[in-house]
Structure 1
């Protein structure tokens, strides 16, 4: 089935019929991404965006993002874990609004720092599913960081996914076999698995 694509010269966007998302969600997603990139090129003011470098990374936005991070850390230290997670969420939203043509390396560093911090705040706030989602994303971004497996493992443990928690701790230990926290959590979950199986009281 074909979709009729039109162009709106006022908004400078490609348009699809209203039912496009139902008919072909992939095409709708591609058009949305194309519109987003086109908007950023037009806002850039030149035909070709500059080569992304640390020098042309938006410094004003970096200052605002850093301030949100500091506020989130302060709330965490004060024991206001839900407020802390909210500050980190606002920071992640700001990071996602960076121009698509800015240095991805800088954006990735900011995003990983905020995701780690929000995962920790959500663990303290006992929001284990939210913490799991952040840790899972971090593992996709930074596969060889044992602390991210620890975050996801703890989330899995409190969600009752003991075998998944065991696997996370073991994978984390494969990157740092002397990590005491991972070893401790692994022993706890192994005892819990034995208990669940009726082999340990």
Structure 2
């Protein structure tokens, strides 16, 4: 099967006819190619500069930092929903960074926001959202015990006690003296025994 893909010089994008039957993989690749093309055009040069901390967008960094501080302030004031909202807006801003900017800086910002938003979601009892954020964090920063703690707490309140136990134990593998992980592990082990009818 062949599809007539064309280039629209006005929008500077690849275009597929609306009635074309294309796979989701091909659509994703075309969308990604169009995004990268738009980024190069917006850059103003044929070849984007090498990503370095020096050419990291400082104005956007300031806005992102303000959103983070605003979210932390809301969290400290007990306004957890507002806090989660501020962190979500910050994450959207981070994702709007040019694709050719330093990934190291973007990754640091994103991990900070995900940690904070996960904590806010735990406070608002949105455990599935907290699980998703902490799971992404573990994929990004595997050796951080607090991320296993976050996912373990989310798993516990979602009723996934064995998964919570595994998360706490993995976190303790990186920091065996972490009091919070040890306390949460004790709680989940008691809950597992209770669920199995071995604990009165």
Note whether the superposition's TM-score is higher than 0.5.
yes
Counterpart of 2:140 in structure 1 is: 141
Counterpart of 2:30 in structure 1 is: 31
Structure 1 residue 3 displacement after superposition: 2.5
Q: Distance in 2 between matches of 1:176 and 1:81?
A: 28
Counterpart of 1:10 in structure 2 is: 10
Q: Distance in 1 between matches of 2:2 and 2:107?
A: 37
Runs of 4+ aligned structure 1 residues displaced above 3 Å come to: none
Q: Distance in 1 between matches of 2:50 and 2:7?
A: 29
| Deviation per residue, 1:112-150 (Å, 9 max, x gap) | 000000000000111101100000000010011110000
| Deviation per residue, 1:143-200 (Å, 9 max, x gap) | 1111000000000000000011011111111111111111110110000000000010
Structure 1 residue 6 displacement after superposition: 1.2
Alignment RMSD (CA, Å)? 1.0
Q: Distance in 2 between matches of 1:134 and 1:5?
A: 37
Matched, 1:98 2:97: yes
Counterpart of 2:170 in structure 1 is: 171
Q: Distance in 1 between matches of 2:27 and 2:18?
A: 10
Unpaired segments of 5 or more residues in structure 2?
A: none
Q: Distance in 1 between matches of 2:179 and 2:49?
A: 46
Counterpart of 1:160 in structure 2 is: 159
Structure 1 residue 100 displacement after superposition: 0.4
Counterpart of 2:74 in structure 1 is: 75
Q: 1:79 to 1:33 in 2, by over 3 A?
A: same
Q: 1:70 to 1:19 in 2, by over 3 A?
A: farther
Determine helix, strand or coil for the equivalent of 2:7.
Answer: strand
Q: Distance in 1 between matches of 2:33 and 2:194?
A: 53
Structure 1 residue 15 displacement after superposition: 1.1
Q: Distance in 2 between matches of 1:124 and 1:5?
A: 49
Structure 1 residue 5 displacement after superposition: 1.1
Matched, 1:127 2:123: no
Structure-2-length-normalised TM-score: 0.98
Structure-1-length-normalised TM-score: 0.97
Q: Distance in 2 between matches of 1:173 and 1:130?
A: 23
